Structure 1
Amino acid sequence: MSEALQILQKYWNHNSFRSLQNEIIDSVLSGEDTFALMPTGGGKSVCFQIPAMMNEGICLVISPLVALMKDQVANLQKRNIKAIALTGGIRSDEMIDLLDNCQFGNYKFLYLSPERLQSDWILERIKNLPINLITIDEAHCVSQWGHDFRPAYLKISNLKTYFPKVPFLALTATATPEVKVDIINELGLNEPRIFEKSFARKNIAYMVFEVEDKLFRIEQILRKNPQSSIIYVRNRKSCLEISSQLQSLGFKSTYYHGGLSSKEKDKNMQSWMQDKAQVIVATNAFGMGIDKADVKTVIHIQLPENLENYYQEAGRSGRNGEKAFAVLLTSPSDILQVESQFIHVLPDKKFLNEIFIKLCNFFQIAYGEGIDEKFSFNLNQFCLKYKFPVLRTYNAMQFLDRQGVITLSQEFSEKISLQFIIPSKEVMRYMSLNPNDEEIVLAILRTYPGIYDIETAFNLPFIAKKSNHTETQVQTVLQKLKERNIVEYHSKNNDASLIFNEIREDERTISRVSKYLENQNQLKKEKLKSVLHYISEQNVCKSKLILNYFGEKTTDDCGICSYCIAQKNIKTDTIKLSKKIIALLKIEELNSREIENRTKNTSHDVIFAIQQLLEHEFIIVQPNNKYTLK
């Protein structure tokens, strides 16, 4: 048994590699630069985690997604593999400690964003680490033609100067042919070995239906397929509404979006993962790290922004290899709605500049200051104060985030503050009367010695860990202390946090990044056109449309999508109708209107069947426009 397979079994409990995983691992172990295009569910992370475990030193993983970094680090730590992520909001002194751990603490993985590499002192520290592999995840971000282009990715190739003998592994799940060429060129990959897994998912039936009542069609689909399902929606409000409507129809349903606390996310996710809920209604915040093999149906009830995102989300169905369905429900108003939602709200340079200046003013950041400052942020409050349109503002901030000017974290956070308002001897008395609460109260007092004097910011996960209790148990004690007027306890929910990654320079800041804005806006329009083509094209197999978009040419229809099923039905109905027509013409000559009346079929179906019979010379047409057998 190979060492790679032994590691896979020991840490991941899998007995065999998926398609291309072993080949990619061999390429990396042989020291070659490698490009791997593996559509969603292909198991990309194993391709760098296993070779990194086999070699001395540490694997540097560059990723733009904070949530994905945290998820992968947590999963590695659960397997007793030492991993660290340098995410936003970490103070410089903490960062130094973490990098010291990487250098001297036998860590195997260091995750960071490409923006971190732009800090000279961090780059200097990384240059001294024993790097054995450099992995670029979400590598399509390096291409201006990629759907999530980030300029910071363009500087990753500089690492080649410092690590000329260390292999680069570029990973992506969605890349068109031009994006693939861009990735190889921009990262400076040296004669890379290229591995491309087909985008074909032969067990997924891609369905597009135009319907008037989407909820009714969802109900039909879920009753016909009562297995695990995901319904994707565009916003948080729709999550709650659709989930509640499904519950009222008797379905076990839950929901997931970026505004839930981590506890609620985990609770709802586990309910669905453990099949206590058949359906999870979710925004696109749901998906990273999700690997539920038996998802039967993924339903989109609003049009996606691009086919890359749609393919990834639809591809969460059928990972067990059994037949599954990716359903897109549309209505005539959807096109106007999607243009309003994605195109009419794109920011221009003037608006971008205005947003950035107001953002700095909102947080009282002076010109030339602000770098690495972190704030709680509520988008609706900000827009209300300055009378900005919410969607256009959000798009502007997302653009600034991708350019590395700010980091906008949409992870829900709960800010707790606490102060004891009775004398310490009374607190001691409370502990003696409530021994079950003693460990938690003592942990608080030892951690925050000034908590009697001022209201103090409170770290719930830390106190839970220090007192050997769950977060829920700590919150229960806090609530009890509040009810007995022992503490002042305030809990405030924030739907985002905001970090400024560079100093405020107003127009100079925006001028530097706006050169990419027009190109990105045009790209969004083109990608939306591809989505509209996918739903409106009536004469091509849906699977073939998706494969062609990603540069795979195929002449075969899938046989199971909405187009192919419709063609089968037409063929079956035409054969039946043709037999009826032949039987009637054995008796007498008839014109098309008479055939239509006798067979009770539509004129469209009758004309189609007559054309087929004429082509195959079963019948002929007389000068009086009546048909007879040949």
Structure 2
Amino acid sequence: MNTAVDILQKYWKHDAFRSPQEEIIASVLEGKDTLALMPTGGGKSICFQVPAMMQEGICLVISPLIALMRDQVQNLQNKGIKAIALTGGIHQDEIIDLLDNCQFGNYKFLYLSPERLQNDWILERIKNLPINLIAIDEAHCVSQWGHDFRPAYLKIAKLKEYFPKVPFLALTASATPRVKEDIILQLQLDNPQTFSKSFYRDNIAYMVFETEDKLNLLQQILHKNSQSSIIYVTNRKACSDTVYQLENLGFKATYYHGGLSYKDKENHMKLWMEEKVQVMVATNAFGMGIDKANVKTIIHLHLPQNLENYYQESGRAGRNGDKAFAVILNNPSDILHAEAQFISVLPDKAFLNLVFTKLCNYFKIAYGEGIDEQFSFNLNQFCGKYNFPILKTYNALQFLDRQGVITLSQEFSEKISIQFIIPSKEVIRYMSLNPNDEEILLTLLRTYPGIYDMQTPFNPQIIAKKSNSTENTVLSLLQKLKEKDIIEMISKNNDATITFNEIREDEHTINRISKHLIAQNKLKVEQLQAVLYYCKDTKTCKNKLLMRYFGETLKKDCGICSHCISKTKKTTKTSEISEKIIELLKIQDFNSRDIQKLSKFPKDDVIFALQNLLENDTISIKSNNLYSLK
């Protein structure tokens, strides 16, 4: 039998594990429930992928992140490992085919969202699979105290009934002590082995700078550190605006947000990954699955929503071990901006009910219907029709998504429909003349029998899998058929898609989930307060503040954060001023005003130095307020 290191070397081309990967894998292989808290970039996926490859059967991976699921499945497939993801927008007959593949096709990984477990028939199919490990990624989502609580995660514990001897591996990159306890409780982990990699990153200098002129300071930072950088902003417009400003200053920059097409995302990413641009300006849609080792600087141009997100985003710097910087640029108006961005736009129960009702009306869904129906969705058009505020509506939809009521795909997608416009006998003739295209065409005809009669939406991923081809090959063939006037192909871009996961019950639905809304709104206020405290506190090491938030104690100041640097500078300056004061007092006694005038140092700095000299018994102050050497 291959060892864990053998598997690591064969598929991942690494010679050794990072701590505590090997210990986590050993725990899983011993059949123990395991909780792993590993910061961003710690290599969480290795912890379930390696042990799954060492055993017979299939690993069930539960994750809320569609983009990350697709990314991991693609990476596994590139390594020759059979993996499948049941993402949103796949019709029931296609899901049946995919699950058949899992059962009979020797697949090693099945990725799905927790919401899929709410479908009884999917759960029944999963119960019959040879599951060897259940990995729960982003496990903090199971806790109401987590920054991304999803009630669908509460259903995961039910899998314990069907797989009592299969170990659970819960993974998260950001969990406070309260969340950690809740994960164990809600997932019903049985006496779990717990592994925590310290959140402390000794090579990252956490900086907070107050400035009225952010662009000027940004320019200085990027000139001083000319390696790869990421600038995080809070909205799409700020992405393009910031790139425009940086390019005018002579920097090479590009941007990334959820509204870009897949092709544009790939192109912009490639520019940055290949060092053709220095700066990536992005919303928090950027980062999942990105592993660029030499990122020198992460800059938050606006205040982050919570310290969990900030820690994950800043943790994308310095993965090569070199010194790196995580910077927040802050000014007094940012607090008002953050409260407007994150707090005032939180939907209450009444607004949530209104949005859900109008959403159902918008798509003409009758009461008691709508389950599994999917629609193209444009947020601006929807808000314009009902005169809703965009950000507050978006937050309401996101909440409905997290509660599993709907699935909101925020990825810019291209919906393709095709129809054959030549007779079937001509299609058969084409296949006989082009045998390389035959398998894909036969798969297409078997999967979509009505494709001669009407424009038929189709899924290139499904056709690629069924025909043992790739998605790019399928799309290239379709383009060729279109150019030869064999098919008519229509591509339509959508901002998003919405899938209804439940029947329409209006207030019934909202009443059931409103308690979570109240709790989450309260939590978001507390989390923003923690960010504001982190930025405002000028007396504590920034690394200490972060570690304290995540339940760790840092005994010594880090020595490299903005607080520690300012303290060092202040000590140096105080020493210089003290020497000047002593020189002056050797000549004669002076009051503080004269000392400040003669030394030419700022008044506050002189007073601070005088207090230090008094405390150290170097000088004394007379009754006439004159300072004198002792």
Q: Does 1:240 align with 2:240?
A: yes
Q: Aligned partners of 2:25 and 2:452: how far apart in 1?
A: 57
User: Could you say if the C-alpha distance between residues 325 and 163 of structure 1 is closer, same or farther in structure 2, counting changes exceeding 3 Å?
Assistant: same
Partner in structure 1 of residue 588 of structure 2: 588
- 3-state SS of 2:372 partner: coil
Deviations 1:422-452 (A, max 9, x none): x889x99xx9xxx99x979x96998689878
* Pairwise CA distance, 1:203: 0.4
Note if contact 2:102-2:129 (Cα within 8 Å) is conserved in structure 1: yes
Note if contact 2:36-2:196 (Cα within 8 Å) is conserved in structure 1: yes
Deviations 1:290-330 (A, max 9, x none): 01010000001011111000000000000111100001011
Partner in structure 2 of residue 409 of structure 1: 409
Note if contact 2:461-2:471 (Cα within 8 Å) is conserved in structure 1: no
Q: Aligned partners of 1:467 and 1:562: how far apart in 2?
A: 50
Q: Aligned partners of 1:50 and 1:403: how far apart in 2?
A: 32
Q: Aligned partners of 2:169 and 2:592: how far apart in 1?
A: 65
Q: Does 1:154 align with 2:154?
A: yes
Partner in structure 2 of residue 133 of structure 1: 133
Q: Aligned partners of 2:127 and 2:450: how far apart in 1?
A: 41
Q: Aligned partners of 2:343 and 2:612: how far apart in 1?
A: 45
Note if contact 1:444-1:463 (Cα within 8 Å) is conserved in structure 2: no
Note if contact 1:445-1:451 (Cα within 8 Å) is conserved in structure 2: no
- 3-state SS of 1:556 partner: coil
Identical residues among aligned pairs (%)? 67
- The number of equivalent residue pairs is 618
Q: Aligned partners of 2:585 and 2:292: how far apart in 1?
A: 57
Query: What is the identity, as a one-letter code, of the residue corresponding to 1:609?
Result: A
- 3-state SS of 1:288 partner: coil
Partner in structure 1 of residue 608 of structure 2: 608
* Pairwise CA distance, 1:10: 0.8
RMSD: 2.7
Note if contact 2:21-2:43 (Cα within 8 Å) is conserved in structure 1: yes
1:211-230 matched pairs, under 5 angstroms: 211-230=211-230
Q: Indicate the larger mover: 452-461 or 201-210.
A: 452-461
Partner in structure 2 of residue 41 of structure 1: 41
Q: Aligned partners of 1:418 and 1:516: how far apart in 2?
A: 43
- 3-state SS of 2:313 partner: helix
Partner in structure 2 of residue 274 of structure 1: 274
Q: Indicate the larger mover: 312-321 or 57-66.
A: 57-66
Q: Aligned partners of 1:374 and 1:532: how far apart in 2?
A: 40
Partner in structure 2 of residue 548 of structure 1: 548
User: Could you say if the C-alpha distance between residues 454 and 371 of structure 1 is closer, same or farther in structure 2, counting changes exceeding 3 Å?
Assistant: closer
Query: What is the identity, as a one-letter code, of the residue corresponding to 2:122?
Result: I
Query: What is the identity, as a one-letter code, of the residue corresponding to 2:313?
Result: E
Partner in structure 1 of residue 355 of structure 2: 355
* Pairwise CA distance, 1:415: 2.7
* Pairwise CA distance, 1:589: 1.1
Partner in structure 2 of residue 26 of structure 1: 26
- 3-state SS of 1:414 partner: strand
Partner in structure 2 of residue 93 of structure 1: 93
- 3-state SS of 1:240 partner: helix
Partner in structure 1 of residue 619 of structure 2: 619
Q: Aligned partners of 2:472 and 2:123: how far apart in 1?
A: 39
Deviations 1:62-107 (A, max 9, x none): 1111111111111111111111111122111111111111111111
Q: Aligned partners of 1:389 and 1:605: how far apart in 2?
A: 49
Q: Does 1:177 align with 2:196?
A: no
* Pairwise CA distance, 1:146: 0.5
- 3-state SS of 1:18 partner: coil
Q: Does 1:390 align with 2:387?
A: no
Deviations 1:354-412 (A, max 9, x none): 11111111111111111111111111111001111111111111110011000001011
- 3-state SS of 1:298 partner: strand
Note if contact 1:272-1:278 (Cα within 8 Å) is conserved in structure 2: yes
Q: Aligned partners of 1:100 and 1:320: how far apart in 2?
A: 42
Partner in structure 1 of residue 504 of structure 2: 504
Q: Indicate the larger mover: 613-622 or 289-298.
A: 613-622
1:170-569 matched pairs, under 5 angstroms: 170-417=170-417, 454-455=454-455, 457=457, 490-569=490-569
- 3-state SS of 2:336 partner: helix
Q: Aligned partners of 1:94 and 1:161: how far apart in 2?
A: 27
User: Could you say if the C-alpha distance between residues 136 and 469 of structure 1 is closer, same or farther in structure 2, counting changes exceeding 3 Å?
Assistant: closer
Note if contact 1:596-1:602 (Cα within 8 Å) is conserved in structure 2: yes
Q: Does 1:166 align with 2:166?
A: yes
Partner in structure 2 of residue 52 of structure 1: 52
Q: Aligned partners of 2:411 and 2:493: how far apart in 1?
A: 11
* Pairwise CA distance, 1:2: 7.3
* Pairwise CA distance, 1:475: 8.9
- 3-state SS of 1:515 partner: helix
Q: Aligned partners of 2:475 and 2:97: how far apart in 1?
A: 30
Q: Aligned partners of 1:156 and 1:420: how far apart in 2?
A: 44
Note if contact 2:444-2:463 (Cα within 8 Å) is conserved in structure 1: no
Partner in structure 2 of residue 83 of structure 1: 83
Q: Aligned partners of 1:487 and 1:133: how far apart in 2?
A: 45
Q: Aligned partners of 2:471 and 2:158: how far apart in 1?
A: 45
Note if contact 2:460-2:475 (Cα within 8 Å) is conserved in structure 1: no
Partner in structure 1 of residue 121 of structure 2: 121
Deviations 1:535-578 (A, max 9, x none): 11111111111000111122311111111110000000011111
Q: Aligned partners of 2:35 and 2:348: how far apart in 1?
A: 35
TM-score, reference length from structure 1: 0.92
TM-score, reference length from structure 2: 0.92
Note if contact 1:412-1:493 (Cα within 8 Å) is conserved in structure 2: yes
Q: Aligned partners of 1:48 and 1:467: how far apart in 2?
A: 26
Query: What is the identity, as a one-letter code, of the residue corresponding to 2:519?
Result: N
* Pairwise CA distance, 1:487: 8.4
- 3-state SS of 2:165 partner: coil
* Pairwise CA distance, 1:623: 2.1
Query: What is the identity, as a one-letter code, of the residue corresponding to 1:536?
Result: K
* Pairwise CA distance, 1:416: 4.0
* Pairwise CA distance, 1:471: 8.4
Note if contact 1:443-1:467 (Cα within 8 Å) is conserved in structure 2: no
* Pairwise CA distance, 1:248: 2.1
Runs of 4+ in 1 over 2 A off after TM superposition: 415-421, 442-482, 486-492
- 3-state SS of 1:565 partner: helix
- 3-state SS of 2:171 partner: strand
* Pairwise CA distance, 1:489: 6.2
Note if contact 1:591-1:625 (Cα within 8 Å) is conserved in structure 2: yes
- 3-state SS of 1:577 partner: helix
* Pairwise CA distance, 1:456: 5.0
Query: What is the identity, as a one-letter code, of the residue corresponding to 1:188?
Result: Q
